[in-house]
Amino acid sequence: MDKKIKSMLVALTCVLTINSTVFATPSSSTANKIHEMEAKIESLDHQIETVMSKINSNKKEIAKTQNDIKGAESDLKNAQDDIKKGKVLLGQRMRAMYISGSNGYLSVLLDSNGLEDFISRIDMVKAVISYDNKVIADYKSKADDISKKRDKLTAENKRLLTLKSDNEKKLNQLNSDKDNQKKLIAQAKEQQRLYAAAEAASVSGAAKQVANIRKSAPSISQSRGVAAASANNVIAFASNYMGTPYVWGGSSPNPGFDCSGFTQYVYGHFGVSIGRTTYDQINDGVPVSRGQLQPGDLVLFGSSSNPHHVGIYVGDGAYIHAPRTGDSVKISSLDSRGDFVTGRRVN
């Protein structure tokens, strides 16, 4: 991986020496078309990632709810057993009073010796009856509460299953749009091939900067242990994964990253917790304007209500990111983006 990264960085920093006639420089209109094309791919990627994230979240909630239902059913059974035990104790007490063949509580009272004993027995019978009734009532109340909890959990489980089914239908619909996306990807790749030199030239300064950072932080760039989340350390670590493929829902080097999975993985390496999706990450840390960006800041694109892409600013007007389907982790120019929303400082 390290040799591959070095080769990519060298290629980026040296590409300006290539004969300028080999590659054309895109006009502003062409650059806009390329950006629009990539933005469409990003948008569909983002929609798929969002639905996949919801499905994964649904699965976790369903598993927890079903586990809670099992717990409630076990608690209900125990409560019902307690009610039965209480009734058995009451029966045993009654049998003890009937052992002489008498007629229960009435016999206890009639067998009293005098008025004082009679009154005492009345109080005793009242206390026994009151206690037994309270015990049974408490058990029944507990059983009713547990039963209601179980019913509520069952209804929630049904809702989550319906939501999961709806999200899976949405994902299937989005997947059916992949054929159109494949055409866009093919066109985007062709445009990248035609304008590779111009694209590399736009980030050559940043590529040199990243290369220098890697030299100054070799242990970080090789991922040997966790260090402080300084800008240089974050950038050095992130650059390890240049060339790693974009994968929907990806949050690790193998099989690959989506945009927010990449940024979360990089910062997670330093013990910094940020959200899993762009919707989460646009609220992480503190906001930073475009003019105040510093290396290591998150950069988000799209709109404030629908941020569909994110990367990490590396300085010199460039950022490292997992771009889109059909591409891999790379350094891109921030100037080419007209849909910058905000930066977020999270370290």
Question: DSSP secondary structure string, 102-143?
Answer: --THHHHHHT-SHHHHHHHHHHHHHHHHHHHHHHHHHHHHHH
Give the count of beta carbons closer than 10 Å to the beta carbon of residue 105.
18
Give the lowest-confidence range in 171-180, 215-224, 318-327.
215-224
Q: Please tell me the predicted confidence (pLDDT) of residue 90.
A: 64
User: Using CA atoms, how far apart are residues 239 and 108, in angstroms rounded to an integer?
Assistant: 89
Calculate the dihedral angle through the C-alpha atoms of 132, 134, 139, 142, rounding to the nearest 10 degrees: 180
Residues 37-56 pLDDT 10s: 677 777 777 887 788 888 88
Mean pLDDT, residues 173-177: 71
Mean pLDDT, residues 281-289: 96
Strand locations in 139-290, DSSP E?
Answer: 251-252, 256-257, 286-288
Instruction: Inform me whether the pLDDT recorded for 2 exceeds 60.
Output: no
Q: Please tell me the predicted confidence (pLDDT) of residue 125.
A: 63
Give the lowest-confidence range in 137-141, 142-146, 220-224, 269-273.
220-224
H-run or E-run covering 347: none
Mean pLDDT, residues 27-39: 62
User: Using CA atoms, how far apart are residues 298 and 313, in angstroms rounded to an integer?
Assistant: 6
Q: Please tell me the predicted confidence (pLDDT) of residue 193.
A: 66
User: Using CA atoms, how far apart are residues 22 and 211, in angstroms rounded to an integer?
Assistant: 26
Strands 256-257 and 251-252: antiparallel
Give the lowest-confidence range in 43-47, 81-85, 93-97, 173-177.
93-97
Q: Please tell me the predicted confidence (pLDDT) of residue 198.
A: 67
Share of the chain above pLDDT 90, in %: 25
- Token pair in block for residue 217: 């932080």
Instruction: Inform me whether the pLDDT recorded for 206 exceeds 70.
Output: yes
Which of 27-31, 74-78, 260-264 holds the top average pLDDT? 260-264
Q: Please tell me the predicted confidence (pLDDT) of residue 328.
A: 92
Give the residue from 6, 148, 5, 4 showing the smallest Cα distance to 73: 148
Q: Please tell me the predicted confidence (pLDDT) of residue 16.
A: 38
Instruction: Inform me whether the pLDDT recorded for 106 exceeds 60.
Output: no
Domains of the chain and any CATH numbers: 2-25+202-345 (3.90.1720.10), 26-194 (1.10.287.1490)
Residues 224-248 pLDDT 10s: 555 678 899 999 999 999 999 999 8
Q: How far apart are the first and last CA of the chain?
A: 26
**pLDDT band per the 50, 70, 90 thresholds, residue 114:** low
CB 310 within 8 A of CB 299: yes
Check residues 262 and 43 and name the one with the higher pLDDT. 262
User: Using CA atoms, how far apart are residues 336 and 35, in angstroms rounded to an integer?
Assistant: 7
Q: Please tell me the predicted confidence (pLDDT) of residue 315.
A: 92
Share of the chain above pLDDT 70, in %: 66
- Token pair in block for residue 137: 């009532």
User: Using CA atoms, how far apart are residues 180 and 41, in angstroms rounded to an integer?
Assistant: 10
Q: Please tell me the predicted confidence (pLDDT) of residue 20.
A: 37
